[in-house]
Structure 1
Amino acid sequence: MSKEEKRILGISWNVFLLGLVSFLNDMSSEMIAPIVPTYLTDVLGIGKVISGSIMGLIESLSSLFKVLFGYVSDVFRKRKVFVTLGYLLSTISKGALAFTHSWWDFLTLRVLDRIGKGVRTAPRDALIAESSEKGKSGKSFGFHRMMDTLGAVAGPLVAIGLLALLKNYPIKVAYRYIFLLSAIPGTLGILVVVFLVRDKGEEVKKKIKGISALKSRNLRLFLVIVALAALGRYSYAFTLWKAKELGYSVVQGLGFYAIFNAIYAFSAYPIGYYSDKVSKKGIITIGFGIAALASLLFAYSKTLPMLLMAFVFYGIYIAIEDTIPRAYMADLAKEFEKGTIIGAYHTVFGIFVFPASIIVGYLWQEYSLKIGFLYAAVINLITMFLMALLVKD
């Protein structure tokens, strides 16, 4: 049996390998992600609005490149080269954070990391779609997000262990060691891409037939709703700042973050699998409702059970909205434009997610974190109703 035909855990070998790569890369990313908010405010001494703006900018910038490189990978019918380059840029930039001493060099390296994500994401998602059986895109994307997020579970746990081992070092020194060590799993992921993942782009028909899905009113309407929803998608950093506001330590915050990622990881695959059998539109709609509920819980959390429930619902929401829209767009896209269409989704989302963190950061500084979370809840309730009423299956 060839690698093209091989199946493992009910999915193609290529999808399995790309899931493994995402596990390793996200382990690398999430080793540093939970300590970044504290590193910004306590080590680099950056204020709330600027911190929120940096986190939003970091999360937004990668998406600006996704439609470009999705389109380029469609034109050249090459996915793997962009996936490899993207992971390489991110791995180098994360390790180099160990040498930052100001918000400017920190931002520069994080921007490089996000550029790497922008280069790889749409080509990788197109490769996942091309490596999936017809009608099972949700299952493939669900598995990929599960593996990605299991890495996000492992990363904070590794960070907790490293902080314990480095407890006799000044905190800023310990953080720098963690940044440097984060490059190890990222490098392993690059090796898997280079030597094991097989490109599928050349199998795409050279002759373009039919009308682009971008001309569809339904798809354009969906992208408008995605833009609005992104305005209510605050950075994960605000959930950790909420835990800190309630008196929990950095290590305890890492524990909350690991719980969130565990919920995300173990929800993504069954949600993706189930979406192939029912309505992807319906699941996306429910996801916005869950987002509103999570934001309300964060807004009013004062006890440990309530805060834990907020992280649980936040994990389910992210599992839905990071998985199903990709599969939904892949299903709508014509064979010749999967990279472009998926890239368009990521780009629209990325442009509008940046202001979200600035807005919540401003509301936090001028009023309170509670007001910021309430703002996000209202945005998600609006998008839930718009999705239910306007978008077709």
Structure 2
Amino acid sequence: MIKMEKERKIAGISWNVFLLGLVSFLNDMSSEMIAPIVPTYLTDILKMGKLASGSIMGLIESLSSLFKVIFGYISDVFRKRKTFVALGYLLSTIAKGALALTHSWWDFLTLRILDRIGKGIRTAPRDALIAESSEKGKSGKSFGFHRMMDTLGAVTGPLVAVGLLALLSKYPKELAYRYIFLISAIPGAIGVLIVIFLVKDRGGIVKKKIKEISSLKSPHLRAFLAVVAIAALGRYSYAFTLWKVKELGYSIFQGLEFYALFNVIYALAAYPIGSYSDKVGKKKIITTGFGIAGLASLLFAYSKSLAMLMLAFILYGVYMAIEDTIPRAYMADLAKEYEKGTIIGMYHTVFGIFVFPASIIVGYLWQTYSLEIGFLYASVMNFIAMILMGTFVKEKAN
């Protein structure tokens, strides 16, 4: 059993969880300052085609997950989670700022890969640290708070980008984008300093050696990871939603507004959904999330009006609030204390392996048929995941 010193709280959240939430706010503000302009940067500035752009976005979002189980396991062994969290955020911050210097798809891809490697290094150790800093039975609340703060940063980022685009409107579009890339490194750097000087490790000394990953022997956990894989095949990059906005004739400024709406919904929903999952059970919430994802994709496929498009972004925000929050808490609950980083990392890795082909498939369907067909494919995969989750996965996997 890991012994934790008593820690002060803020609104029922431990100080460590609060600080990690603040760091995620700053980092996501940094990331989301550039995220809404990246699709246009790829197609209009770097002159990349639809399939290539979709593939790169999928690769970028998938690659980090391949490192998560590795560094989750390493952080379990050394019990120095903070080191990996700080290193991961530092790499990402450097990579985002350096995008200002890119002039080809290869430069862009290299730096985005470095950014995702940073995410891969920090995510599982950070999630394990959140779990270790949470009260028993309150993991959903802690992860919900963290995702809320993360997404508030994602709300702030596009709004800052809109302001910067307005201020830089007299400059050529390419130069304005490069300035935004450079400025995005500032909040990320502040977050790195908070991790280094204020966040505390909670690992302690693990008395049991890591010889067996007992939770992974559970057939119900394996069933859950299989469902995660299927759902990930329907998890397209956010870039496709912005390409849909562009396809309907809206400007990049309007696209940023839609993206901000999505993130507002995500931020408002994450914390209450996380707390609610502690009461009603995480399986029910995850199952519902897949259904909402399927419906959102249907709306994106058939959206022709402003109202339908807004509803699609709202449902997409609720879905992300669920599926980016509750599975982490679910995995943290079932993991033994000595393997939290490994178990949470396993979830991220399985997800990452299967989310990469999702964007390639949707990109191919977009290029060969239409964006509508790509969204319909994603809808089917999410509805299948919903049925399997409700049928084969139990509330307690171990």
TM interval, shorter chain, is over 0.9
Conserved? CA contact 2:234–2:355, under 8 Å = yes
5+ residue gaps, structure 1, are none
Q: Deviations over 1:197-243 (max 9, x none)?
A: 00112254455698610111010110011001000000000000000
Distance 1:135-1:191 versus aligned 2 partners, 3 A rule:
same
Q: Number of aligned pairs?
A: 392
Residue among 69, 89, 92 paired with 1:90:
92
Residue among 139, 142, 150 paired with 2:141:
139
Which is worse superposed, 206-215 or 95-104? 206-215
Cα distance in 1 for partners of 2:213, 2:244 equals 47
Corresponding position of 2:116 = 114
Conserved? CA contact 1:27–1:152, under 8 Å = yes
Letter of the 1:142 counterpart: G
Residue among 187, 190, 195 paired with 1:188:
190
Cα distance in 1 for partners of 2:320, 2:211 equals 35
Distance 1:78-1:59 versus aligned 2 partners, 3 A rule:
same
Letter of the 2:296 counterpart: A
Conserved? CA contact 2:213–2:339, under 8 Å = no
Corresponding position of 1:349 = 351
Does 2:60 correspond to 1:58? yes
Cα distance in 2 for partners of 1:210, 1:382 equals 32
Q: Secondary structure at the match of 2:200?
A: coil
Does 2:360 correspond to 1:358? yes
Q: Deviations over 1:239-282 (max 9, x none)?
A: 00000000000011000000000000110000000000011001
Q: Secondary structure at the match of 1:197?
A: coil
Conserved? CA contact 1:49–1:361, under 8 Å = yes
Q: Deviations over 1:61-102 (max 9, x none)?
A: 000000000000000111000000000000000000000000
5+ residue gaps, structure 2, are none
TM-score, normalising length: structure 2: 0.97
Conserved? CA contact 1:205–1:335, under 8 Å = no
Conserved? CA contact 1:14–1:131, under 8 Å = yes
Corresponding position of 1:105 = 107
Does 2:245 correspond to 1:243? yes
Corresponding position of 1:333 = 335
Conserved? CA contact 2:51–2:363, under 8 Å = yes
Corresponding position of 2:231 = 229
Distance 1:36-1:131 versus aligned 2 partners, 3 A rule:
same
Corresponding position of 2:269 = 267
Cα distance in 1 for partners of 2:246, 2:188 equals 29
Letter of the 2:314 counterpart: V
Corresponding position of 1:368 = 370
Residue among 203, 213, 216 paired with 1:214:
216
Distance 1:31-1:211 versus aligned 2 partners, 3 A rule:
closer
TM-score, normalising length: structure 1: 0.98
Q: Secondary structure at the match of 2:280?
A: coil
Corresponding position of 2:296 = 294
Conserved? CA contact 2:26–2:187, under 8 Å = yes
Cα distance in 1 for partners of 2:240, 2:265 equals 18
Cα distance in 2 for partners of 1:351, 1:35 equals 25
Cα distance in 1 for partners of 2:258, 2:205 equals 44
Cα distance in 2 for partners of 1:15, 1:48 equals 40
**Aligned Cα root-mean-square deviation (Å):** 1.2
Corresponding position of 1:304 = 306
Distance 1:210-1:347 versus aligned 2 partners, 3 A rule:
closer
Cα distance in 1 for partners of 2:145, 2:5 equals 18
Q: Deviations over 1:159-211 (max 9, x none)?
A: 00000000000000000000000000000000100010001122544556986
Letter of the 1:103 counterpart: W
Distance 1:346-1:211 versus aligned 2 partners, 3 A rule:
closer
Conserved? CA contact 2:67–2:120, under 8 Å = yes
Does 2:81 correspond to 1:79? yes
Cα distance in 1 for partners of 2:347, 2:52 equals 27
Cα distance in 2 for partners of 1:283, 1:289 equals 10
Distance 1:211-1:123 versus aligned 2 partners, 3 A rule:
closer
Cα distance in 2 for partners of 1:242, 1:276 equals 36
CA deviation after TM superposition for structure 1 residue 5, in Å: 1.7
Conserved? CA contact 1:267–1:316, under 8 Å = yes
Cα distance in 1 for partners of 2:317, 2:206 equals 35
Cα distance in 1 for partners of 2:305, 2:206 equals 53
Q: Secondary structure at the match of 1:297?
A: helix
Q: Deviations over 1:17-76 (max 9, x none)?
A: 000000000000000000000000000000000000000000000000000000000001
Conserved? CA contact 2:297–2:375, under 8 Å = yes
